[in-house]
C-alpha cells in the first residue's frame, strides 16, 4: 500500500523503480486508481513537452547570432559574455533561495527533470559554445558551427521527444527520428551557407554522430567547435 501511495504522488520516479510484474500486481489490486495514475502520467508528459518546446525555442534563437556578429562583432561578444555572467550569478543566488526576477523564472520553466534542484548548466554550455566558436574561427566556419548547434541539436531533441519511437542503442534514449532530423537540419543549413554539396554532407554526418554521444549539455560546446574546425579544413 505504501508503494502504491508513493507511486500516485510521484508516478514517474517510482514507476521507474518497479518492474513490470510488480506494477501489474498493484494495478490488479487497486484497479479503481488506474485512471488517476494514467492521468497523472499524461499530465506529467504534457508538462515535460511544454518545457522542451520552451527550452528548444531559446536554444534555436542562437541561429541569429552569426548575423548579429557580422553587424557588430565585439558588442555581440561582450553582450553574450555579460549574459553568461549574469546567468551564472543568478543561478548561484537561486541555489541560495534568492531568486533573480525573470531570469530565475525562465530557468525554472526550462529546467529538465534531470537538473533536479541543482545548477542548470545547459545555458552556460550553450553560451560558451557560441562565444568560443565565434572567437576561435573565421566568420564562415563559425556560422556553420553555430547554426548546426542551433538547428541540428535543437531539432534532434525536439523531434525525438515528439515523434521518436525507435531508440538507438548505447545513446541513452536518443531516437532515430531525432538523429535524422539533426542530419537534415545541419545538411540544409550548411548547404545554404556554403552552396557545396559534399562538405555539407560530411559536416551533417559528423554533427549527427557527435549529437549521438550521450554527454548531456557538453554537446553545446562540442558540436559548434568540432563542426567549425571541420568546416575550416574542408571548405
Domain count, the chain: 1
Distance separating alpha carbons of residues 136 and 133, to the nearest angstrom: 5
Give, rounded to a whole angstrom, the gap between the first and last alpha carbons of the chain.
64
Instruction: Look at residue 158 and tell me if it is in a domain.
Output: yes
Cα gap 16→136, rounded to integer Å: 43
The answer to the question of residue 20 being in a domain is no
Position 76 confidence tier, pLDDT thresholds 50, 70, 90: very high
Domain span at 122: 64-234
Q: Tell me, what's the pLDDT at 113? A: 65
pTM of the complete model? 0.78
pLDDT digits (tens, 9 = 90+) for 101-130: 878 777 776 676 666 668 888 899 999 999
Residue at 51 is within a domain: no
DSSP letter at 72 equals -
CA torsion sign for 71, 75, 81, 83 is: negative
Amino acid at each position: 500500500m505504501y508503494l502504491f501511495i508513493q507511486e500516485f504522488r510521484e508516478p514517474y520516479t517510482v514507476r521507474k523503480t518497479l518492474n513490470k510484474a510488480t506494477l501489474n500486481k498493484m494495478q490488479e489490486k487497486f484497479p479503481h486508481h488506474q485512471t488517476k495514475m494514467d492521468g497523472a502520467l499524461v499530465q506529467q508528459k504534457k508538462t515535460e513537452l511544454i518545457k522542451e518546446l520552451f527550452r528548444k525555442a531559446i536554444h534555436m534563437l542562437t541561429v541569429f547570432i552569426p548575423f548579429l556578429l557580422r553587424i557588430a562583432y565585439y558588442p555581440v561578444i561582450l553582450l553574450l559574455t555579460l549574459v553568461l555572467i549574469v546567468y551564472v550569478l543568478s543561478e548561484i543566488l537561486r541555489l541560495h533561495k534568492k531568486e533573480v526576477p525573470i531570469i530565475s523564472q525562465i530557468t525554472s520553466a526550462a529546467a529538465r527533470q534531470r537538473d533536479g534542484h541543482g545548477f542548470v548548466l545547459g545555458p552556460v554550455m550553450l553560451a560558451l559554445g557560441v562565444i568560443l566558436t565565434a572567437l576561435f574561427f573565421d566568420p564562415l566556419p563559425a556560422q556553420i558551427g553555430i547554426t548546426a548547434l542551433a538547428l541540428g541539436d535543437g531539432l534532434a531533441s525536439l523531434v525525438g521527444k515528439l515523434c521518436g519511437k525507435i531508440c538507438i542503442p548505447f545513446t541513452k534514449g536518443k531516437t532515430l527520428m531525432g538523429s535524422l532530423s539533426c542530419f537534415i537540419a545541419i545538411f540544409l543549413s550548411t548547404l545554404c551557407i556554403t552552396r557545396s554539396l559534399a562538405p555539407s554532407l560530411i559536416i551533417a554526418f559528423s554533427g549527427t554522430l557527435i549529437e549521438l554521444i550521450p554527454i548531456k549539455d557538453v554537446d553545446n560546446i562540442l558540436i559548434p567547435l568540432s563542426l567549425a574546425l571541420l568546416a575550416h579544413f574542408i571548405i
